[in-house]
Amino acid sequence: MHDIRAIRENPAAFDAALAKRGLSPMSPEILSLDEGRRAKILAAETAQAAQNAASKDVGAAKAKGDNAEFERLRALVTEKKAEVARLTEEAAAEDARLRDLLMTIPNLPHDDVPVGKDEHDNVEIRRWGTPRTFDFKPVEHFDIAGVKPGMDFEMAAKLSGSRFVVLRGGIARLHRALAQFMLDLHTTEHGLTETMTPVLVKDAAMYGTNQLPKFAEDSYRTTNGWWLIPTSEVTLTNTAADEIVDEAALPRRMTAHTQCFRSEAGSAGKDTAGMLRQHQFEKVEMVSVTTPETSLDEHERMTKCAEAVLERLGLPYRTLVLCTGDMGFGARKTHDLEVWLPGQNTYREISSVSVCGDFQARRMNARYRPAGGKPEFVHTLNGSGLAVGRCLIAVLENGQQADGSVDLPKALHPWLGGKTRLTAEGVLV
**DSSP 8-state assignment for residue 2:** -
80 touches 48 (CB < 8 A): yes
**DSSP 8-state assignment for residue 11:** H
262 has catalytic annotation: yes
**CA 204 distance to own-chain centroid:** 14
Non-local (6+) Cβ contacts of 342 within 8 A are 131, 132, 134, 138, 397, 398, 400
349, 362, 369, 376: which one is catalytic?
A: 349
321 touches 125 (CB < 8 A): yes
262, 301, 367, 421: which one is catalytic?
A: 262
277, 312, 348, 369: which one is catalytic?
A: 277
173, 332, 390, 421: which one is catalytic?
A: 390
Q: Nearest Cα to 399, choosing from 141, 65, 97, 102?
A: 141
Using CA atoms, how far apart are residues 145 and 397, in angstroms rounded to an integer?
11
Helix ranges, 289-381 (H) = 295-312, 359-364
Q: Which residues of 14-30 are buried (b: 16+ CB within 10 A; e: fewer)?
A: bbebbebbeeeebbeeb
27, 219, 295, 352: which one is catalytic?
A: 352
Using CA atoms, how far apart are residues 310 and 148, in angstroms rounded to an integer?
24
390 has catalytic annotation: yes
127 has catalytic annotation: no
Helix (H) or strand (E) holding 50: helix 27-64
The verdict on whether omega for the bond into residue 42 sits within 30 degrees of 0, i.e. cis, is: no
Residue type, 84: V
Non-local (6+) Cβ contacts of 208 within 8 A are 234, 237, 238, 241, 360, 363, 364
Kindly list the catalytic residues.
Answer: 262, 277, 349, 352, 390
